[in-house]
């Protein structure tokens, strides 16, 4: 079980002409990932999703808050003590074309971590030699033919097959959590569902929990039951709840803009009646003492300029001091002073119009 408590990450930039500037990549992100559970993060480019993924895998540090794995606070540990926790959290990278070393065969890509893992487990030499069987087992698990794939180089495989190899490689060290950062965005649309089904299958069969980071809301629906969806904007979670609940009944204007941007399959779907869009492009330099989304929000009012809303359940006032982050984890929360349900998602043609 992983618990993040108010994770923040701030970068200092030193522009040659523009002067130093502080970039808030993450402004206090809370979430809980139960064993075998799934948490999805959606947001546009530059909202801090990838930074979060890197922090969870130990590739990036955080400067505030706490990351707790199985009750152990990681920031109190020394780096070598931390390593064994991060071994259990593995990343599936975005681009399967650059995530695999082009000069090594699949056998050697999978072999090294498998031998390392066998030594770490303190097995005998015999176990280390069994890596080929284990590699074949993993490739079968991810839906590839071991005999055909093992001797090949990455360029001999298609994008979907490469992504499966990347997933198999992540599984070599027996992880408990997989972080999928835009794991399907570089893959042909026709192959995406296969990869998503594989991730869902790994959850069901191996009990691996999943952190799914994406800009494509539709794919977040396919990672399995009980998934929680966090909508992240400029490093802050502004709406969260069960995936289907947030998609079907979004109340934050930013979530509604994101969902409105999902293309409609004309002929099969009709656009939602309340489709909306941000009033302008993101300008990170603009000062936003109030709501971060206020300059772009089509529904912003005076209060949004002055006061910063916090996550609260529907019906409560987002200006209250009570921090709702500690509430029940699956509750539908939002950070907006004027939450309004709007029907922005496309409707299937022929489905009841309600």
Partner 1 sequence: MSEVQVRGLTVEYQTSAGWLPAVAEASLDLRAGEITGLVGESGSGKSTLALSLLNAVPAPGRIAGGTIDVAGVGDLTRLTGKQLRKARGGSIGYVFQASQNSLNPLKTIGKQLLDLGRSHEVADLRALIARALDLANRMGLDGQRVLDSYQHELSGGMRQRIGIVFALVLNAKVLILDEPTTALDMLSQASVLEIVRKVHDENQLSTLIITHDIGAISEIADRLAVMYGGRIVEDGPLLEVLRRPTHPYTKALIGATARITGDVEAARALPGRPPDLTTVARVGCVFRDRCPFAVAVCAEAEPPLAAWEGERRRACHVEPTTVLAGTPAAVGEPA
Question: Is 242 one of the binding residues for partner 1 (CB under 8 A)?
Answer: no
Q: Least Å distance between CB 42 and partner 1?
A: 8
- Say whether residue 217 binds partner 1 (CB under 8 A): yes
**DSSP-based three-state secondary structure for 305:** helix
What is the pattern of x (binds partner 1, CB under 8 A) and - over residues 145-174? -------------xxxx-------------
Q: Is 194 in the site for partner 1 (CB under 8 A)?
A: yes
- CA atoms of 85 and 67, how far apart (whole Å): 11
Separation CA 29–CA 18 (nearest Å):
29
In the three-class reduction of DSSP (H, G, I as helix; E, B as strand; rest coil), residue 65 is classed as strand
> In this complex, which beta carbon is closest to partner 1, that of residue 20 or of residue 281?
281
Q: In angstroms, rounded to a whole number, what is the distance separating the alpha carbons of residues 340 and 250?
A: 8
Query: 169-190 burial, b if ≥16 CB within 10 A, otherwise e?
Result: bbbbeebbbbbbbbbbebbeee
Question: According to the binding rule CB under 8 A, does residue 259 interact with partner 1?
Answer: yes
What is the C-alpha separation between 46 and 227, in angstroms, rounded? 23
Using rule CB under 8 A, residue 292 touches partner 1: no
Q: How far is 242 from 261, CA to CA, in rounded Å?
A: 20
Task: Give the footprint of partner 1 on residues 27-46 (CB under 8 A).
Answer: 44-45
66, 245, 269, 331: residue in contact with partner 1 (rule CB under 8 A): 269
Exactly one of 48, 146, 154, 278 binds partner 1 (CB under 8 A); that residue is: 278
Q: How far is the CB of 285 from partner 1 (least distance, A)?
A: 13
Part of the chain binding partner 1 (CB under 8 A), chosen from 4-12, 145-153, 258-266, 305-313? 258-266
- Residue 249 interacts with partner 1 (CB under 8 A)? no
CA dist., res. 146 & res. 1, Å (int): 32
Q: Are 279 and 296 in contact (CB under 8 A)?
A: yes
Query: What are the residues binding partner 1 (CB under 8 A)?
Result: 44-45, 158-161, 188-194, 196-197, 215-219, 221-222, 247, 257-269, 277-278, 281, 345-348, 351
């Amino acid at each position: 079980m992983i618990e993040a408590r108010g994770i923040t990450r701030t970068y200092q930039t030193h522009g040659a002409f523009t002067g130093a500037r502080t970039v808030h990549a993450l402004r206090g992100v809370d979430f809980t990932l139960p064993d075998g559970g799934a948490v999805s993060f959606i947001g546009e480019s530059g909202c801090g999703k990838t930074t979060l993924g890197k922090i969870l895998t130990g590739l990036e540090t955080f400067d505030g808050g706490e990351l707790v794995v199985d009750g152990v606070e990681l920031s109190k540990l020394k780096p070598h003590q931390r390593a064994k926790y991060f071994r259990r959290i593995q990343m599936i990278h975005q681009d399967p074309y650059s995530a695999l070393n082009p000069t090594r065969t699949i056998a050697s890509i999978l072999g090294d971590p498998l031998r390392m893992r066998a030594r770490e487990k303190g097995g005998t030499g015999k176990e280390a030699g069994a890596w080929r069987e284990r590699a074949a087992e993993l490739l079968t698990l991810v839906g590839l033919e071991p005999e055909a794939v093992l001797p090949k180089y990455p360029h001999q495989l298609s994008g979907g097959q490469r992504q499966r190899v990347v997933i198999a490689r992540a599984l070599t060290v027996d992880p408990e959590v997989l972080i999928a950062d835009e794991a399907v965005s570089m893959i042909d649309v026709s192959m995406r569902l296969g990869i998503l089904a594989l991730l869902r299958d790994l959850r069901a069969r191996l009990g691996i929990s999943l952190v799914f980071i994406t800009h494509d809301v539709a794919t977040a629906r396919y990672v399995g039951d009980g998934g929680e969806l966090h909508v992240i904007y400029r490093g802050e979670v502004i709406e969260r709840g069960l995936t289907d609940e947030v998609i079907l009944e979004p109340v934050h204007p930013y979530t509604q803009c994101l969902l409105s941007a999902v293309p409609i399959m004309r002929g099969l779907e009709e656009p939602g009646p309340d489709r909306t869009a941000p009033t302008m492009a993101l300008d990170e330099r603009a000062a936003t003492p109030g709501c971060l989304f206020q300059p772009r929000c089509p529904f912003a009012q005076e209060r949004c300029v002055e006061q910063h809303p916090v996550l609260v359940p529907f019906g409560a006032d987002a200006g209250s001091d009570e921090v709702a982050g500690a509430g029940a984890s699956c509750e539908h929360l939002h950070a907006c002073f004027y939450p309004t349900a709007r029907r922005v998602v496309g409707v299937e043609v022929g489905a009841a119009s309600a």
